[in-house]
Amino acid sequence: MFRAYYPDAVEIMRHLERPISRRARHVFVGAIIASVLLVVTGTRAIDENLPSSLSDSELRDELLFRADALPRLRSLLVSVDGQLVEEHYYHGATASRLANVKSVSKSIISLLVGIAIDRGHIAGVDQSVGDYFPEYFKPGANLEHTEITVENLLSMQAGLETTSNRNYGRWVQSANWTHHILTRPIVARPGGRRIYSTGNTHLLSAILGKVSGVNTLEFARRRLAAPLGFTLPAWYQDPQGIYFGGNEMQMTPRSMVAIGQLVLSCGMHNGIQIVSEEWVHRSLEPRSRSERSGREYGYGWWIRRLAGYQTYYAWGYGGQFIFVVPKLNLVVVTTSSPNPGDGRRTHLASLYSLVENQIIPAVHQRNQNSARRLVSGE
């Protein structure tokens, strides 16, 4: 089969017997493997005319070689200066196929909360959750719970016992998700240490529905998806009909790029301020830190340095990512298999490595080359 599709393959392999550099050998082998995958799996850049800003770099060859070798990867998109320069799909994924973005949904919820505050639906991040759920608070009771603010929910500092990890199944099988969250015991001071919990962002979804007059799906469609030019399908609802806040949203990779570009542009799209610049800046300020990894967290967005550049990212289980690197005008999106299984942690490390060791250096190199040409007058 190999020779049938590639009559020159044997000749290429002969070249590999000559003394060449290790990197060049990887590029040759990567080209062969990528070509085979193109025939067998349909992996390809869907638009061969994309203006690739990475095309002159050996780092691009290594990037594609390494991406092709990741069995859990479904898409890889790179946007520089607002222009999509790389777009690749793997293992049956396509541009139109929806991805379950998992906890990337939390970053979307954060943007929706910002829009709600901009429009006066929510007074501010200091407002108590008790103001929105009086039906769950008896006068004089649950006083610690009323100290929890909208900001605490956004930054994962509510102090409530988590509904994630080992408690997740019990929560999503409960008859009333909101009641279940609000009756969890306080295990840390609100505003104190970070306790990751999807229940926090689900409360934010419930709040959006209460204050906007429409459910979270409709609010997101009107105020975020439609202005950015993409469609947002319905996703999972709790028993009370509240759209799952912080998980299970379905988006195409290009829609994820649009979200990243919105953050990169400080909330502006086509001359329209979708969400205020102030909110974007506040969302990307470190508010808490993961006790497990030490990584910083803002309002639904993770913060770390990659290849020396400050990077902000939305992160969903299994390898769903939106990376935003402001100093390079760079947005990177990946989607991956959301299913549990062997190799998941290794896969995450590989995705971080792609961004840090191939994509960011390639864009950095591109910018340096452009600066040299500008200075030399080429």
Does residue 344 register a pLDDT over 90?
no
pLDDT score recorded for residue 56: 53
The 10s digit of each residue's pLDDT in 139-198 is 766 778 989 999 999 999 999 999 999 999 999 999 999 999 999 999 999 999 999 999
The 10s digit of each residue's pLDDT in 287-342 is 999 988 889 999 999 999 999 999 999 999 999 999 999 999 999 999 999 988 87
Let me know whether 130 and 168 are in one domain. Answer: yes
Last residue of a domain, one of 208, 236, 264: 236
For residue 6, is it within any domain? no
Let me know whether 280 and 342 are in one domain. Answer: yes
pLDDT score recorded for residue 291: 82
CA distance readout (Å), 110 to 11, 60, 64, 183, 231: 54, 33, 32, 23, 19
For residue 25, is it within any domain? no
pLDDT score recorded for residue 120: 98
For residue 372, is it within any domain? yes
Let me know whether 231 and 300 are in one domain. Answer: no
pLDDT score recorded for residue 340: 85
- Measured over the CA atoms of residue 106, residue 108, residue 111 and residue 112, the dihedral's sign is negative
Calculate the average pLDDT of the chain.
86
Let me know whether 224 and 130 are in one domain. Answer: yes
Let me know whether 329 and 371 are in one domain. Answer: yes
Here the CATH number for the domain that contains residue 88 is 3.40.710.10
Let me know whether 153 and 258 are in one domain. Answer: no
CA distance readout (Å), 155 to 5, 31, 39, 164: 53, 44, 45, 15
Q: At what angle do helices 253-264 and 104-118 cross, to 10 degrees?
A: 50
For residue 196, is it within any domain? yes
Let me know whether 90 and 127 are in one domain. Answer: no
Last residue of a domain, one of 236, 268, 283: 236
pLDDT score recorded for residue 8: 35
Let me know whether 264 and 352 are in one domain. Answer: yes
Least confident residue range of 219-228, 239-248, 362-371: 362-371
The pLDDT confidence band at residue 376, using thresholds 50, 70 and 90, is low
Let me know whether 229 and 107 are in one domain. Answer: yes
Let me know whether 344 and 230 are in one domain. Answer: no
Per-residue burial over 13-52, b if 16 or more Cβ lie within 10 Å, else e, is eeeeeeeeeeeeeebbebebebbbbeeeeebebeeeeeeb
pLDDT score recorded for residue 144: 85
How many CB atoms are located within 10 Å of the residue 243 CB?
A: 24
Which single residue is written with the structure tokens 């590029």? 27
Does residue 201 register a pLDDT over 70?
yes
What's the structural domain count of the chain? 2
For residue 142, is it within any domain? yes
Last residue of a domain, one of 236, 267, 297: 236
The 10s digit of each residue's pLDDT in 13-72 is 333 334 444 444 444 444 444 443 333 334 444 444 444 557 556 888 889 999 999 999
pLDDT score recorded for residue 80: 97
For residue 33, is it within any domain? no
> Domain limits at 297?
42-100+252-378
pLDDT above 70 as % of the chain: 83
For residue 20, is it within any domain? no
**pTM for this predicted structure:** 0.85
Rounded to whole angstroms, the Cα distance separating 43 from 75 reads 9
Let me know whether 135 and 231 are in one domain. Answer: yes
Let me know whether 95 and 198 are in one domain. Answer: no
For residue 10, is it within any domain? no
